[in-house]
Structure 1
Amino acid sequence: MDITWWDALITGMTAVWGWQALGLIALGVAVGSVFGVLPGLGPVAAIALLLPATLGLPALPALLVLAGVYYGAQYGGSLPAIVLDQPGEASSVMTSHDGHPLALQGRAGAALVTATLSSFLAGCLAIGAVILLAPWMVSAGMQFGASERFLVLVVGLVGATVLASGSFLKALAMTVLGLLLGLVGWDAQTGSVRFVPVGLEPWMGHRQGLTDGVGFIALALGFFVVAPVAAELAGLSTHARTRPLPEGASAHPRAAANGMDTRPTRGELRDALPALLRGTGLGAALGVVPGGGALLASLAAYRLEVVVSRQRVPALGQGNLRGVVAPEAANNAGAQTAYLPMLALGVPPNTVMALLLGALGLHAIEPGPSVMELQPTVFWGLLVSMWVGNLFLLALNLPLARWWAPALLHVLRVPRRALLAALLVAAGLGALALGPHGWGVWLVMGLGLLGFVLQRLGCEGVALLLGYVLAPGIEEHLRRALQLSRGDWFVFLERPVSALLLMVAIGLLLVVVLQPRRRASR
C-alpha cells in the first residue's frame, strides 16, 4: 500500500501498453458501440455474450474487453437517440429529448459532436476522481474486520434492493433467490453439497454440473440474453419497443444526412460548459450509489438542467445543447465511478458492475480491498485502460460521425427477429463451452425459462444477479465473524463502523416499510 501515484500510473500504463492490450480495448469499445446503437440490447447483453469468449484469456485482457464494452455502449446509445429518437441504450433516453429536435432542425452533427466531447471530458474527469479516491477507499477497506466486510456487502445488497424499480417485495424475493443460487454446490468448509436435487442421474447422466454450483456465465446468458429475447419474441417484453422506420428513411433529409456536417460554435460550447460540469459532478456521485449507475445519473442531470436552465432560449426539450451535454456527461461519469465501490470494496452498484465482479471471480480474483495489493497490475491497468478507451471512442466518433447515420439506418433494416435469433445462437454457442454432455446448454435453457417466467411476473433479474455474486462473500464473512466471536451475534454492534453500517441497512428497510403507511395516512 506504499505505492505512489506516479508508480501506480506507470504500473497501469505498462499493463495496457502493447498491441494485444490496445487491440482488446479497441475491440471492446467497438463491440460496445455497436450494441449501444442497436435499440433494446445495450452493454448487459453484450457482456453476457462475451463472457464465454474471455474464459481463455488472462484476467486483465478479459476485463479490458468487458470494460470497453460498457463505456462503448454509453457512447453508441446517443447516435440513434439523436438521429432517430430511438435510444439504443437506456441511459441515452434523456439525450433524445433535445438531441432529436436538433436533428430535425438540421443540426444532427452538432448534437453528436457535443455529445461525444461531453462524454469524453466527463469520462476523463471521472476516471481521474476514481484514481484519486481508490487508494483511500482501499486503505479504509483493509482496516475492516469480518463483521464490517459482511455488513458492507449487506448494505450494498439492501440499497440495490430498496432502490430497484417496481415492487420492493418482488425485488426482495429476487435477491433471496439470487443468494440461494449463489450457495448451490459444494460447501468449502463442511465439504457437503447444498441445494442439489437428487434423482437427476437417470435423465441427465450426472450431477457434477450442479455440485460445482450454478455457473455465473450460465446465469448471465440465461437471464440477460435468453429470457429477454424469448420475452420479445413472445410479444411480452416490458422494454420500450423499437418504433419502425418510416418509408424512405434512408433518405430522411433532416434527421440523417443533411445535418451531419454541422458543428457547434465556440459560443455554444462555452455556454454548455456549466452543464458539462454539473452533469459530471452529479453523475460521478450517483455512479457509486447502489441501484444508481448511468441511467439514474442521466435522468437526474437532465432534471437538474431543466431547473437551472429554465430561462434559456430555446428551452430544454426544444433543441438546447445543454440538454444533450448534461445527460451524456452524467451517464459517462457514472459509468466510470461505478468501478470505485466494485474494485475497492467488492460491492457492485449496478448490473454491469455485478457482471464484471463475476468475471473477476471466474479468473480466481477475490474482489474487494485485496485486489489493489495482490493484483496491482489488474487494478491499475483496468483504470488506465478507461482513459485509453475514451481516446479510442473519441477518435472513432468524431471523424466518422457523418458516416454513422446512413450505416445505422441500414443496420436497423435488418429484421428484428433475425437479430434476436442470432443472439440466441450466440448464447447457445457460449453455453456449449460450459460443461460436458450439453450440460451448459440445458442449464442456460432452464435459467432462461426461469428468467422468462419471472420477467412475465414483473420481477427484475438485476436484484437476483447482485444476490448471486455477493452470496459467497456474505457467507464467508458472516461465518468468519461468528467464528471469531464464538457465535456471539452482538459482534456486529461492538465496533462503531459495523454498528453504523447495520443502522444504515435497517434504516433503508424502514424507509421502504414506512413509506406506504405515510402515503395511506395522507
Structure 2
Amino acid sequence: MDLLTNLDIGFQAALSLHNLTFCFIGVLVGTAIGMLPGLGPLATIAMLLPLTYALEPVSGLIMIAGIYYGAQYGGSTTAILVNLPGESSSVVSCLDGHQMARKGRAGAALAIAALGSFFAGTVATLLIAAFSPVLAEVAFLFGPVEYFAMMVLGLTAATLLAHGSFIKGVAMVLTGLILGLVGADVNSGTYRFTFGSFSLTEGIEFVAVAMGLFAFTDIVANIRSNQARDVASPSLRNLMMSAKEFRQAVFPVIRGTAIGSMLGLLPGGGAMISSFASYAVEKRVSRHPEEFGQGAVAGLAGPEAANNAGAQTSFIPMLTLGIPSNGVMALMIGALMVHNIAPGPFVMVSNPEVFWGLIASMWIGNAMLVVLNLPLIPLWVRLIQVQYWVLFPIILVVCCVGLFSINNNVVPIYFAAGFTVLGCLFWRMRAEAAPLLLGFILGPLMEEHFRRSLLLSRGDLSIFWHSPLSVAMLSIAAAMCLVILLPQIRKGRKAAFEEEA
C-alpha cells in the first residue's frame, strides 16, 4: 500500500500541466539530440542546466531525465537510417539495424527499437519504484565510514570502466577531486586554493565545469562536421513488424531489459555497457550467430532494450544513495544541489513529490517517446541532414546566455572557456572527462565523510577496518585495481584502445 500511496503522490505531481509540458520538452529535445552526432545528452544537459535555476525542482529534474532517456531513443534512429550512431550507446544498433534498413525493413527496425525501448523503460521504471525505498532503508544504516568507502568504490569502478588508459582515468578522477576542494573548508570555513580571488571563495561553478568540458568541447571537436549525410528514408506505411520479426524480438527484449537493469545499477555503468553486453549475450545464445551483422532482429532488439533499461536504472543509486553512476547522474545531483536538496536517502522523506514525481514522469515520458518517434520520422530525417556549422552558433549563444544568467555575471563564462581549453586537451589526449566530473561532485562529499570518520575515531585510520561494509567495499575497490593492473589485462586494454582510436 505504501508503494501505491507514493505513486499516487508522484502521478499527482507529474500529471500537472506544468510538469507534463517539461516532460514533453525533455523527451523531444532528448530525441533530437540523440539523433545529431556530436551532441550527446551529457553536453545537452550541461547546456540546459542553468534553466533549472528558474524552475521548480521536480520540473527541472523531469526535463533533464527526459533528455537522458530520450537520447537513447533518438540515437537508434540515426544508427538504423544512416549507420551513424547519434549516441554512444547506439553504436551496436548500427550493426544489424542498418542492415535491416538496407534490406527494405527500415520501418520494422524502427518499430522494433521503439517498442523494445518502451518495454524496457517501463520495466526499469517499475524496478526503480519497487526497489528504491528498500535501498534507501539500507542507506539509513550507513554512517560516514560506510559512505566514504562506497564513494571510493564508485569512483574506482567509474575509472576502470572509462575508455582508454587506466592511469588517465585515475588522473582525471584525482583532478576532479582537487577541483572540488576549491573554496571554503567544510569544517573550519577557511578559504583554500582561491589564490586571493573572490570569485573562487564559493568554489568553482559546477555548471561552468560541465559546460566547458562537454558542451563547448563538443562544439570544438565537431565544428568541421559539415558533410552531407545520405539518409535512407523509410515508408511510414511500412512501420509494422511481421509476425516472424515479432517472435524473434520478444526474448531478446526481455533478456536485454534484465541485463540493462542490472548493469545500470553499477557505478560507471549505464546505457553503453548494457548495449554491448546484450549484443554479446544474444550472439552467444543464438542458434544462428552467423546472421549477426547481416540484419539479425535479435542483434537490434536486445541492445535497444538494454540501453534504455540501463539508462533508467542508473537513477537508483543517484536517488537513494546520492552516488552518481555516470556523468549524467552527476549532473542530476548538481541540479538537486542547485535547489538546496541534499542527494541521498533523505530526498524520499523530505521531498517526496520530487522523488516520486520524477519516477512517475518516466512512465509518461516513455509513452510520449513511442508516440513521438514513429509518426515524426520525416521530421527526424530532415533534422539529421542539418549541417553542424548551422547548429553550433546557436548552441554557443544559448550556452553563454545560460552561464551569464546564473549570477548575472560573466565570470562563469570565463571559467567555462578555461575548462573548454582543458576539455580539448583531454580530447586530444584520449582522456575521458566524465570521471573528472564524478570526482568533482564526490570530492567534497568524500572529504566531509572522511573527516567525520576521523573525528569519531579521534584520528585513528583503523576505523575504516572496523565496519564490515567498509572493509568489503574497500577490498573490492582494491581488488579491481589489482586485476586491471595485471600485465595481460593492461596490455589488452591498451590494444583495444589503440584499435578504437
* TM-score, normalising length: structure 1: 0.90
Equivalent-residue separation in structure 2 for 1:437 and 1:519 (angstroms)? 48
Alignment-mate amino acid for residue 352 of structure 1: V
Sort the Cα spacing of 1:368 and 1:438 in 2 relative to 1 into closer, same or farther, 3 A.
same
Partner of 2:496: none
CA displacement at 1:518 relative to structure 2: 8.2
Q: Does 1:218 align with 2:208?
A: yes
Q: Does 1:447 align with 2:445?
A: no
* Aligned partners of 1:218 and 1:444 also within 8 Å: yes
Alignment-mate amino acid for residue 159 of structure 2: T
Match of 1:427 among 388, 394, 399: 399
Partner of 1:329: 305
* Aligned partners of 1:107 and 1:260 also within 8 Å: no
CA displacement at 1:231 relative to structure 2: 2.9
Sort the Cα spacing of 1:268 and 1:444 in 2 relative to 1 into closer, same or farther, 3 A.
same
Match of 1:82 among 80, 95, 102: 80
Sort the Cα spacing of 1:297 and 1:260 in 2 relative to 1 into closer, same or farther, 3 A.
farther
Alignment-mate amino acid for residue 323 of structure 1: G
Equivalent-residue separation in structure 2 for 1:517 and 1:284 (angstroms)? 27
Equivalent-residue separation in structure 1 for 2:409 and 2:347 (angstroms)? 36
* Aligned partners of 1:431 and 1:441 also within 8 Å: yes
1:230-251: CA deviations, max 9, x gaps? 2333x6xxxxx786424xx5xx
* Aligned partners of 1:346 and 1:357 also within 8 Å: yes
Q: Does 1:391 align with 2:367?
A: yes
Equivalent-residue separation in structure 1 for 2:43 and 2:485 (angstroms)? 33
Partner of 2:271: 294
Partner of 1:204: none
Partner of 1:232: 222
CA displacement at 1:365 relative to structure 2: 1.1
* Aligned partners of 1:482 and 1:488 also within 8 Å: yes
* TM-score, normalising length: structure 2: 0.94
Partner of 1:466: 438
Equivalent-residue separation in structure 2 for 1:223 and 1:103 (angstroms)? 35
* Aligned partners of 1:86 and 1:243 also within 8 Å: no
Alignment-mate amino acid for residue 56 of structure 2: P
Match of 2:229 among 245, 262, 269: 245
Sort the Cα spacing of 1:413 and 1:116 in 2 relative to 1 into closer, same or farther, 3 A.
closer
* Aligned length in residues: 492
Equivalent-residue separation in structure 1 for 2:490 and 2:239 (angstroms)? 52
* Aligned partners of 2:226 and 2:389 also within 8 Å: no
Superposition pairs for residues 97-246 of structure 1, below 5 Å? Answer: 97-198=95-196, 207-233=197-223, 244-246=228-230
* Aligned partners of 1:72 and 1:393 also within 8 Å: yes
Q: SS state of the match for residue 319, structure 1? A: coil
* Aligned partners of 2:228 and 2:387 also within 8 Å: no
1:188-236: CA deviations, max 9, x gaps? 42121111123xxxxxxxx332111111111111000112212333x6x
Sort the Cα spacing of 1:519 and 1:212 in 2 relative to 1 into closer, same or farther, 3 A.
closer
CA displacement at 1:517 relative to structure 2: 8.1
Equivalent-residue separation in structure 2 for 1:219 and 1:444 (angstroms)? 6
Identity, in percent, stands at 42
Match of 2:469 among 497, 500, 508: 497
Alignment-mate amino acid for residue 146 of structure 1: P
Partner of 2:285: 308
Sort the Cα spacing of 1:350 and 1:260 in 2 relative to 1 into closer, same or farther, 3 A.
farther
1:435-476: CA deviations, max 9, x gaps? 455212111111111211222222211110000011121111
Equivalent-residue separation in structure 2 for 1:412 and 1:159 (angstroms)? 35
Q: Does 1:267 align with 2:244?
A: yes
CA displacement at 1:36 relative to structure 2: 0.7
Partner of 1:318: 294
Equivalent-residue separation in structure 2 for 1:284 and 1:38 (angstroms)? 26
Equivalent-residue separation in structure 1 for 2:297 and 2:451 (angstroms)? 53
Gaps in structure 2 of 5+ consecutive residues: 493-501
Alignment-mate amino acid for residue 427 of structure 2: Q
Q: Does 1:481 align with 2:453?
A: yes
* Aligned partners of 2:38 and 2:218 also within 8 Å: no
CA displacement at 1:418 relative to structure 2: 2.3
